[in-house]
Structures are given as structure tokens and as C-alpha cells.
Amino acid sequence: MRASNPNALVERLRTYAIHGVARVALRLSSPVRAARVVRALGKWFPPIERDAACSAVKSLDERGRGTCLTRSLAIAARVPGARVAIGVAPPLSRGRVSRKRDSLSRDARGIAHAWIETDDGPLRAADPRGAVIATL
């Protein structure tokens, strides 16, 4: 966590703090309620612009902590007018059952993904995957 200036370090710490709250909120409640909690917390921090939000998402991705949903909730809470989209890509093959835990395999269930959208579209062009089934 090396930052060239103190303001960058403070921003990174803010991002990690709100992401930690998002992770706990999702463990304890539904995504809708967690989104409300994280957005309320986000109002206490200064808003960030699109470029700063892209950097924050990249920083969280590089750390490999949380999920796409927790990262999206944390960053969207600080971007004015942002929302979290949840999409599901269709399965590659249907009905194949994995022997692990007797559940459907990943490609039979489809893949869900969450990303941040603004009025200008997705924050990152590569993020949208599948049909949007919900927005928070």
C-alpha cells in the first residue's frame, strides 16, 4: 500500500474502510439492506469522480479481497449517481452435475457478476456480463 502522496494514501484507506463495511454488511444482511448501509456511510466521505473510481476498483481488484459485489457497493457509494448492476451470463451447458457437494457445476449455473454503472455507462467497459437482473 505505497502511495506517492498523503492524499492518495488517505483515499486508499477510505476505500478499504468502506469496502470492509460492505463485506460485513453483506454477511449480515440482504444485498438491498447492505447497499443502503454502505451508501449511508459513503455520504460521510467526499465523493470521487469516474477516474478516481476506476483507480479504486483496480486497487481493490489487485488486493483480491471481497467479491465483485462488495467492491462495487463500496465504490458506488462514493460516486455521485452511480448504481450497482448485477448480471448473469447464461450457462455454457445445462444440467451437468458436479460430484463436488452435489451441486450444479459453475458452467451449468451461469456466472453472476456485479459492476458499477453511471449515466455514462459501465465504469469499466469489460465489466458488463450477461443480462442485468437487478440494480442496487
Per residue in 33-42, pLDDT (tens digit) is 999 999 999 9
Give the residue, 134 or 23, on which the prediction is more confident.
23
CA angle, residues 126, 128, 132, in degrees to nearest 5: 180
Residue 73's pLDDT band, with cuts at 50, 70 and 90, is very high
Residue 23's pLDDT band, with cuts at 50, 70 and 90, is very high
Alpha helices in 29-132 (DSSP H): 31-42, 50-63, 68-76, 106-109
pLDDT at position 79: 94
Tell me what the pLDDT averaged over the chain comes to. Answer: 82
* Cα–Cα separations (whole angstroms), residue 11 to 5, 15, 35, 38: 10, 6, 20, 16
Residue 105's pLDDT band, with cuts at 50, 70 and 90, is very low
Which range, of 6-15, 44-53, 107-116, averages the lowest pLDDT? 107-116
Give the residue, 79 or 1, on which the prediction is more confident.
79
Q: Cβ atoms within 10 A of the Cβ of 66, count?
A: 18
